Amino acid sequence: MHAGQGGSAVWTVPNAVSMVRLALVPVFAVLIVSGEDVWALIVLAVSGASDWLDGFLARRLDQVTKLGQVLDPAADRLFILVTLIGLLWRGVVPWWVLALVVLRDVLLACLAPVLARYGYGPLAVTMVGKAGTFALLYAFPLLLLAQTPGPVGTVSRAVGWAFAAWGIGLYWLAGWHYLAQTRRLVRAERDRERREGPA
């Protein structure tokens, strides 16, 4: 079975959760730019919880779908990107944090046409990739909370940057795993084509 296969249903509970998370992206963008930090923190918390919830429901309800396999990581990446842009706008994170995340996603985007050429869909999300996403989604509200003066801000800054470092590291480790997996799949398909010869 090629990577990325699943059911063809669209309107499932996990997909609805992912769609809600996508709908929260512009809401968060407006809140963070407007300086509404409390509401922005709430939206980030809801997004982080929904990221765990949709995967849990998909497995628990046996509702893993092709759309969900694309929608869930797409929602994660879009939320991470918009959040980082908002935090960069506010001066909460430096530009290189955004650059590291974007470069990794550009790498994955370059793999998509290679996989499609050999009949493969998006690769299944790995535990390493999911752990990196979780770490980043935990880091963002903490880094935003770090703007609070006093002990709360100090502790949030230390813990937030620890989560951010782990998240970026795991994000890139997962990217390396996806690259290696793509190379294995392409090599296997080319070997099969050589054995079978021209059609």
Query: What single-letter DSSP state applies at residue 7?
Result: B
Q: What is the pLDDT of residue 96?
A: 94
Of residues 139 and 45, which shows the higher confidence score?
139
Token pair, residue 146, equals 């770090």
Q: What is the pLDDT of residue 112?
A: 86
Q: Are 121 and 2 in contact (CB under 8 A)?
A: yes
Q: Would you say residue 176 has pLDDT above 90?
A: yes
Is 178 buried (19+), middle (13-18) or exposed (0-12) by CB count in 10 A?
Answer: buried
Q: Would you say residue 49 has pLDDT above 50?
A: yes
- 65: phi then psi, degrees, rounded to nearest 5: -125, 160
CATH code of the domain made up of 13-196? 1.20.120.1760
Q: What is the pLDDT of residue 2?
A: 42
Residue 135, strand partner residues: none
Q: What is the pLDDT of residue 63?
A: 67
Q: What is the pLDDT of residue 60?
A: 75
Q: Are 58 and 14 in contact (CB under 8 A)?
A: yes
Of residues 104 and 74, which shows the higher confidence score?
104
Binning pLDDT at 50, 70 and 90, where does residue 67 land?
Answer: low
Residue 7, strand partner residues: 65
Q: What is the pLDDT of residue 1?
A: 37
Q: What is the pLDDT of residue 198?
A: 57
Binning pLDDT at 50, 70 and 90, where does residue 174 land?
Answer: very high
For residue 99, how many other CB atoms are within 10 A of its CB? 12
Q: What is the pLDDT of residues 26-48, one digit of tens each?
A: 888 888 888 888 888 888 888 77
- 154: phi then psi, degrees, rounded to nearest 5: -65, -50
To the nearest 5 percent, what fractions of the chain are helix, strand and coil? Answer: 80, 0, 20
Separation of alpha carbons 22 and 25, rounded Å: 5
Every domain of the chain and the residues it spans: 13-196
- Residue 13: CB partners within 8 Å, gap ≥ 6? 57, 61, 63
